[in-house]
């Protein structure tokens, strides 16, 4: 890499762009998010981002090590927003549930961005903060360290996996506009009972279900399992 990427904290000079805008990591990330929202996942490119910023495309490389670095920063931003929108109550189950939903919602608010970032572990500050928070909730609730780590793992991966999956579905809908939307009422509803009896019998229910996320149900299932584990452990070693 010929260009040295300088971290935001060390950045000293703030030379305005030819068109007058003053760049920053924050501005670039937010512009990228806006472009993703407006023009879809394929609408984000270094060149277009440059134009949108009123700067040369290559300038972005002074702030991020390639578009991949920008992508990770976007993920970090979404994770941060989830955390900011969340408040603790002190009840572990309530807090975990709302935190999971907050993460899911934060990503789904920017489906095109989520598709790019949700399956990446970045190790950046806000992401670590989320991890610390989850582990704290669990350990404070009385889970053993082993249980806490196991549940934490399932919890965070479930949230991220469904953020990615549901965002993918949303992003496609946004782009193909209904071409895909009626899949469950078109393709699946017209399968003959002779070859596909079970789909045919439940087609009306499927159409309803499949256009919503399965995440809340699975989250509750996970929390139920954790709850059971907690009470059984309490019974054992207290």
Partner DNA sequence: CTTTAAGGTCTACGGCGTTGGCATAAGGAT
Partner DNA sequence: ATCCTTATGCCAACGCCGTAGACCTTAAAG
Query: Within 13 A of 15's CA, how many CA atoms are on the CB side?
Result: 4
Q: Which of 221, 227, 231, 234 binds a second copy (CB under 8 A)?
A: 221
Token pair for 125: 């500050």
Tokens of 22: 């003053």
Taking the C-alpha atoms of residue 61 and residue 47, their distance in angstroms, rounded to an integer, is 11
Separation CA 213–CA 191 (nearest Å): 24
Distance CA 201, CA 207 (A): 12
- Give SS3 for 195: coil
The rounded distance, in Å, linking the Cα atoms of 78 and 109 is 9
From 33, 53, 82, 164, residue interacting with a second copy (rule: CB under 8 A): 164
Question: Least distance to a second copy from the beta carbon of 232, Å?
Answer: 13
* Number of amino acids touching a second copy (CB under 8 A): 51
Is the distance from CB of 169 to CB of 212 less than 8 angstroms?
A: no
Residue 62 contact, options a second copy, DNA, none, Cβ 5-8 Å cut-off depending on partner type: DNA
Nearest Cα neighbor of 112 from 39, 163, 171 is 171
By a kind-dependent CB cut-off of 5 to 8 A, residue 46 interacts, out of DNA, a second copy, none, with DNA
Q: Please answer whether residues 65 and 72 qualify as being in contact, where contact means their C-beta atoms are separated by less than 8 angstroms.
A: no
Given a second copy, DNA, none, residue 217, with its beta carbon under 5 to 8 Å by kind, binds a second copy
* Part in contact with a second copy (CB under 8 A); list of ranges 3-11, 32-40, 191-199, 230-238: 191-199
Is 5 one of the binding residues for a second copy (CB under 8 A)?
no
Binding characters for a second copy, 112-141, by CB under 8 A (x = yes): ---x---xxx-x----x--xx--xx--x--
Which CB, 52 or 130, lies closer to DNA? Answer: 52
Q: Which is nearer to DNA, 71 or 106 (CB)?
A: 71
Torsion sign over Cα 101, 211, 118, 28: negative
Q: What is the DSSP letter of 54?
A: T
The nearest distance, CB 38 to DNA, in angstroms, is 14
Out of 38, 84, 174, 180, the residue judged to bind a second copy by CB under 8 A: 180
The residues of the shown chain that bind a second copy, judged by CB under 8 A, are 115, 119-121, 123, 128, 131-132, 135-136, 139, 145-146, 148-150, 153-154, 157-158, 160-162, 164-165, 168-169, 172, 180, 183, 187-188, 191, 196-199, 201-202, 205-206, 209-210, 213-214, 217-218, 221-222, 224-225
């Amino acid at each position: 890499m010929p260009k040295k990427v300088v971290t935001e904290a060390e950045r000293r000079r703030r030379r305005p762009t030819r068109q007058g805008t003053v760049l920053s990591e924050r501005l670039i990330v937010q512009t990228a998010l806006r472009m993703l929202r407006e023009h879809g996942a394929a609408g984000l490119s270094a060149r277009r981002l440059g134009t949108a910023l009123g700067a040369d495309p290559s300038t972005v490389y002074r702030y991020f090590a390639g578009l991949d670095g920008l992508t990770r920063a976007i993920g970090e931003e979404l994770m941060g927003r989830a955390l900011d929108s969340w408040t603790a109550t002190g009840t572990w189950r309530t807090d975990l549930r709302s935190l999971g939903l907050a993460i899911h919602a934060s990503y789904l608010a920017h489906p095109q961005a989520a598709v790019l970032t949700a399956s990446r572990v970045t190790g950046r500050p806000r992401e670590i903060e989320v991890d610390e928070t989850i582990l704290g909730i669990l350990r404070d609730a009385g889970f053993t360290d082993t249980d806490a780590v196991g549940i934490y793992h399932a919890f965070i991966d479930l949230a991220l996996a469904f953020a990615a999956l549901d965002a993918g579905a949303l992003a496609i809908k946004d782009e193909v506009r209904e071409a895909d939307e009626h899949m469950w009422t078109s393709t699946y509803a017209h399968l003959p009972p002779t070859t596909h009896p079970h789909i045919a019998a439940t087609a009306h229910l499927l159409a309803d279900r499949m256009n919503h996320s399965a995440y809340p149900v699975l989250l509750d299932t996970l929390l139920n399992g954790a709850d059971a584990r907690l009470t059984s452990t309490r019974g054992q070693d207290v």
